[in-house]
C-alpha cells in the first residue's frame, strides 16, 4: 500500500509526453513515473558501486591490489599525531 506522496510541477508538454509514453505501456502516469524514477535511481547507485572490467584489465587491477604498500612518511607522521580529544 502506497502511503507517501511525491508531488511535481511540470510543463504541460512534459506531462503530455509522460502520459503518452505511459499509455503505450498500458500504465498510469504514476506507475510510469515511479518505474522510471526507481530504474534511474538503481542505475545511479550501481554506477557508484559496481564496475566491470575485461579480463586483461581485471588482472591488472588485481595485480595492483596485491602489490605491497609503499612507505608514506607524511601519512605515518599524520597518523602518529594525537587527536585533540586524545590529548
Give residue limits of the domains in the chain. 12-69
State the Cα–Cα distance between residues 65 and 71, nearest whole angstrom: 15
Which of 37, 43, 18, 38 minimizes the C-alpha distance to 28?
18
**Inter-CA distances, 20 with 6, 9, 44, Å:** 20, 18, 25
Q: What pLDDT is attached to residue 31?
A: 96
Model confidence at 87: pLDDT above 80:
no
**Cβ-contact 22, 32 below 8 angstroms:** yes
pLDDT tens track for 18-57:
999 999 999 999 999 999 999 999 999 998 888 889 999 9
| Residues, the chain | 87
The model's pTM is 0.58
Model confidence at 66: pLDDT above 90:
yes
Amino acid at each position: 500500500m502506497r502511503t507517501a506522496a511525491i508531488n511535481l510541477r511540470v510543463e504541460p508538454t512534459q506531462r503530455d509526453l509522460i502520459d503518452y509514453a505511459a499509455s503505450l505501456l498500458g500504465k498510469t502516469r504514476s506507475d510510469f513515473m515511479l518505474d522510471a524514477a526507481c530504474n534511474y535511481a538503481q542505475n545511479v547507485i550501481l554506477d557508484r558501486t559496481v564496475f566491470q572490467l575485461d579480463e586483461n584489465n581485471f588482472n591488472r587491477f588485481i595485480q595492483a591490489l596485491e602489490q605491497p604498500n609503499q612507505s608514506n612518511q607524511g601519512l605515518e607522521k599524520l597518523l602518529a599525531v594525537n587527536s585533540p580529544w586524545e590529548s
